[in-house]
Structures are given as C-alpha cells and as structure tokens.
Amino acid sequence: MTFNPMDLSGRHILVTGASSGIGRQTSILISKLGAKVTISGRNQEQLDNTIALLEGTGHRSAAFDLNNVSRIPTWIREQAAIGGMFHGAVHVAGLRQTIPLRVLELDSIDEMMRVNFSSGVMLARGFRQKGCRAPGEGSLVFLGSIAGLVGDVGITAYAASKAALLGLTRSLAVELAAEGIRVNAVAPGIVASEMWQRQKAGLTPEQVENIQRKYPIGIGTVEDVANGIAFLLADTSRWITGTTLVMDGGFTAS
C-alpha cells in the first residue's frame, strides 16, 4: 500500500463557503484524501452541485447563513449530532467589498466584520464544544487574505476584517493548544475563480495586466489554495499552529 502523509481517511471535516470557488475545491480534494465532508453555504442548489463532485460516501450538505453569528455554535452541535463529531473545520465563507473610504458606512464595516471575523470566532467556539470535536487532535483552518498583510485602495474594511482573522488565528492557537486543537490560516492572493472573473469585468485590460504583473509566478488557482488547506488539516502539519500560510505567487515578496 502506498503511504500518503496527507491521508484524511476516517476524519469528518466541516467546510463553510463550499458552494463554489476555494470552498468547493477544498471539499473535493479532502474527499479524495478520504475525509467525510459536511459542506455549508447559503445556496442549497450550489451545495448540491458540490456534493455531486465529491468522492466517497457519507458526505452531506447543511445550508446555513453565517450572518446568524450567535447561532453558529448551536448549529455546529446539530451537525455533529447528525453526521458525527468533527476532526477539523475549514472556514472559507466570507464577504469582499471594494468601498472607498469616502463612501464607507458603518453598516458595511459591521457586516464585513461579522461575516469575515465574528463568524470565525463563533465557529471556533462551536468546534471546541464537548461532543462536537472527536477525541484527539483537531485542526481549524481559516481563509485569510494577503489583504490582511498589505494595503490597497478601497478595501479598508475588508483588509481590517482579514487582519483581525489572522490575529484571531494566533491567539486561538495558544488558547486551544492544551485541548489538542491546532489553528492556522491561509492567506491567498488573487486566484482564478468566479470572484476574480467578476472583478475583471469591471476593469480595463490595462488594469488587469497591471495586477497580474504583481505576481512573479502568476495568479494562482483554487486548487493551489485547496492544497495548502489540506496540508494544514492533515498530519503533515501536526507541529504547526498559529501560522498563516501565505499563498500569493510571490506578491508580498516583490
């Protein structure tokens, strides 16, 4: 039998934001690695499409709106009761808006922080509940962004919410270490996804070229990010916690 250090057989993983993009690709990959996957998002039809792409058996979808932040721990307990206790969770769901400071309103800031940051706090709180996490080690992975590390025009609230998420990762890693829970994040740059296609639609060819030029080895793919997430879920990263894995094709190095 071939040894696979990233084997996830026998593990139950929760993936939020699995309707498309990075969340969908992560779900597909970890199912191929043997995990049983519970996926979440707001659109049931898109979740059904993701389920159809997964390998193996025992997968299920559980539509949920993360805007209902206070209910997340209860919702996780319900999912664990139905599908079994979780060995890991990947928090991909999030909101990105480009809003210049001159028109940025408090409601937009509150929404961005609630969906991108507060939901992560409550997901971690729910994951560590008795009866929700399987005995032994557990792994939480948050989807951050290089926007939480470097600045750009028009993304003040978004960048702040992602920077907060990266800070949360470090603090939770220390707090939950005694419980055997590792907490890490990935911080991607632009990847070829549905979101990037929507962004490009509002840009000129010159603007697109200028953005792409900032990535020394090119813009990544959702598969690239999913590979990093799977690494952080598997035993390959058993000695890693409190870390942000930057995945940006060299953007922050140039």
> Catalytic site residues?
158
CA distance 131 to 223: 32
Number of H helices, E strands in the chain: 9, 9
Q: Coil, strand, or helix at residue 34?
A: coil
Encoding tokens for residue 247? 């995945």
Encoding tokens for residue 86? 């979780």
Q: In the chain, helix, strand, coil percent, each to 5?
A: 50, 15, 35
CA distance 188 to 195: 13
Beta strand ranges found along the chain (DSSP E)? 12-16, 36-39, 60-61, 88-91, 138-143, 181-188, 191-192, 220-221, 244-247
